[in-house]
Amino acid sequence: MGGLRRLGTKAVPALIDAFSSYSPEHPDTQRRLWLCQLLGESKDKRAIAALRRALNDPDKAVAQCARNYILSNLRKSKK
């Protein structure tokens, strides 16, 4: 995770692709939560857009993670 954080916005497209590639039959929740965290922490506009698309994710844990990071970024942008 540290390496991906250090890559910063360069890693965002690959993170979005990995986050969006899943099967409803095998949601791989833990991996997608980890990717959600990395996307949310990046604060990149593309990452936030991907998290917005995940608000209606069939995996409730992933949808909640996306919601938390979107709300967090909204609060920080108002400051």
Task: Choose among 62, 69, 73: nearest CA to 21.
Answer: 62
- What ranges do the domains of the chain cover? 2-78
Q: CATH for 2-78, among 3.30.1490, 1.20.1420, 1.25.10, 3.30.1380?
A: 1.25.10
Mean pLDDT per 10-residue interval, the chain, length 79 residues: 68 91 83 94 93 95 96 79
Q: Give residue 76's identity as a one-letter amino acid code.
A: K
Q: Count of H helices and E strands in the chain?
A: 5, 0
**DSSP annotation of 11:** G
